[in-house]
Chain A
Amino acid sequence: MAYSVPKLTDYSAAALEKAASECIGACTAESAEVRSDADLKAFRDRWMARKNGILTQINDQWLKGAPKEAKREAGMRVNELKARITELVEAAHVGAGAGDSLEAERVDITLPGVRRAIGAEHPVVKTSNEIVSVFQKLGYSVAEGPVVETDYYNFEALNFPPNHPARDTQDTLFIAGQQSKPQRERLLLRTHTSPVQIRTMEKMRPPIRIVIPGTVHRNDPPDASHSPMFHQIEGLAVDTNITFGDLKGTLDHAMKALFGSSVKTHFRPSFFPFTEPSAELYVTCFICGGSGKRGSDPCRPCKQTGWIEVLGCGMVDPNVFEFVKDNGYDPKKVSGFAFGMGVDRLALLKYGVDDLQYFFQGDVRFLEQFG
């Protein structure tokens, strides 16, 4: 006999208790009768439907119909009952009746287990770690610095005079609202990892050998080979006897360690305000092997020249040492070299990806291929 909500005449504690437990009993019994999804839906609707569900009826009849003195007591009981019924209804499932529970609990032990996905290293991070490790093996330590920098560390201390055209080459992203501050204190997003050279030299006396991975920003609209946010690795070595010859040798070794012992390196004069002399390093294109062609087609990555530009470098400009002279960097006594490279570009070449944007869109379908 299906349960229906009885009218309460007696609002004593005992009577309420009895009515509540009858209700719970009926609900439990009915939930055990659920055999199919249709039954389940019907059961739920009968008890929980807003308009005419049993819980609503209980509310209307027992609570609203209660005399004034009994309202508080009745209210408490009804709430308890409602909570309990709701629990039962939500726990109900198909085949909950006795005898069905074993069937429902049966496990097919021949199925493969549930695999938990293990994360994979992002290709840019992977490339960065590889490069850093090549230098760590040469005795370099890792240094890091802030992404939001001051004009002083990003430009002035690196020998970019105020209002000099060389600053235009950096496409800087400035933090708004800085006009009231003196120029050297204005905040910007660092355009290269070079500021950390100065920060490190302020804290550590020579000799030093550091490598600096980090995120940098420039005002470049994003496309297949540009992104306003990208990654660089900087290197700096200062001692009493470091020469341009050491720079060439170190980088030649590093390139062979990264790209294979058969790559050749080639230096070409260039210009950076913080190095003098400055150079750009090219390696033989590892796609076409330096020939400039793939079969009969032109090799795109190296634009048919057979060489790929990898990094900028040079001997530290004495003007830069002047900014940290008090910490032991007398340009007459020490010399050093510095280099900086774009990591994302190398990762693109290394993994044969043709669009930089894939690295930053966070599409798992792309990233999980690196697992």
Chain B
Amino acid sequence: MKLSPQWIRDYVGLTVDDRRLAEDLTNVGISVEGISGAGADTVFEMEIGTNRPDAMNHYGVAREAAAIYDLALKAIEPKLPSAAKAASDSGPDGAAGSRTLSKRGAPDAALKGRSSTDLDSAFPITVEEPQLCPRFSARVIRNTHIKPSPEKIAHRLQLLDQRPISNAVDATNYVLWQIGKPTHVFDADLLEGGQIIVRKARDGETLKTLDGVERKLTSEDLVVCDAKKPVGLAGVMGGYDTMITEKTRNIVIESAWWDPGIVRKMSKRHALHTDASHRFERGADFESTVLSCDLVAQMILESGGGDLVGDAVDVVSKKMDQAPVLLLVSEVERILGRGLDAGLIFRLLKRLGFTLIPEGQGDARFRVHIRRDRPTAWLR
């Protein structure tokens, strides 16, 4: 996959040049196989292993660079019109931070029910499969205009061989490559019944996906639906009939966490492998659903105008918590062999976004809280 070193520099104040950066990233396992282009248009051709979905985006790689060079990582803070601003965290690496959804302190309400009809939002969302869709977040925008993306956005996408389509669609693409969170935008007026339901498809239902292919669905498929029909193959691809066109004025932004197993099965069954399915299969970030909705909303509002409707809707059906891991410095020595001092371990892990809490006396034990986007991180 392609990444732009210039874009990476947005998030970390690097002092080394691109070639050096490529070498150093490769030496920590984020392999840069080739470099093309020059200056601000340089592109890295990356080979990122299946165990590092967190590094399949610019912010993730910036985080690695921050750890390599012991630099601070800039937080990503969406700027939304104050009326609808969600009290958000300071960036995707606030793993131990709190998650408040709106000024009403709605987290408990969201956890209790699986639908959002009790929140002040224009779009009711019902999740019938909480195990497969533990989190579904959305934002609604009204009275916006669809137009080509600003030059800077379009240019960055083109560097990555992504075709710019329209400001709304490009915003989802941009945020995917920015923080690695796939999102989707629907034309709100084409969602029949003005609501969203996440459920299994019924045998016989069909869905024409964005690539124009008419697909037969079965009860094995997980789909995002409106009141009448499926409008998206969960975590894989959105539907053709609800896509953004120049006529679109109202938009629903969707960002969810999908069970990796079912996304993989659907991807194989329909022979549809997308940037989204690739990330969901390997475990996307549970925490950044609202953040990604906010970032997409910000980009659409800035380029196309319009208003936010209410707060972000965040339906959390199942809390995905990773229990902290006990890190024993003696174990590090037993396996790696060299006396890595606790100070270095602490510093590196902290830069990588982990939170370490010393336990007991001295430096020998830490309780480590794992960032939500490193689902299989193994620490010894």
Contact = CB atoms under 8 A, between A and B. Distances in A.
Contacts of B265: 163
Nearest to B31: A268
Contact of B337 (A245, A268, A276, A317): A245
Interface string B45-58: 00001111000000
A268 B50 contact: no
B337 A271 contact: no
B336 interface: yes
Given A163-B264, A268-B27, A169 B50 contact: yes
A245 B378 contact: no
A295 to B, nearest CB: 24
A271 B281 contact: no
A169 B282 CA distance: 13
B52 A245 contact: no
A243 B50 CA distance: 25
B335 A270 contact: no
B335 A268 contact: no
Contacts, number: 45
A354 interface: no
Given A165-B282, A276-B378, A271 B336 contact: no
Nearest to B49: A271
Interface in B325-362: 333-338
A215 B26 CA distance: 31
Contact of A163 (B31, B261, B336, B337): B261
Contact of A244 (B27, B52, B337): B337
Interface residues of A, number: 17
Contacts of B333: 243
Contacts of A26: none
A245 B335 CA distance: 9
A335 interface: yes
A163 B261 CA distance: 7
A269 interface: yes
Contact of B51 (A244, A268, A271, A315): A271
A243 B336 contact: yes
B28 interface: yes
Contacts of B324: none
Contact of B336 (A166, A169, A245, A317): A245
Given A244-B337, A276-B378, 11 more contacts: A163-B265, A165-B264, A243-B334, A243-B338, A244-B335, A268-B26, A268-B27, A269-B27, A270-B29, A270-B49, A315-B335
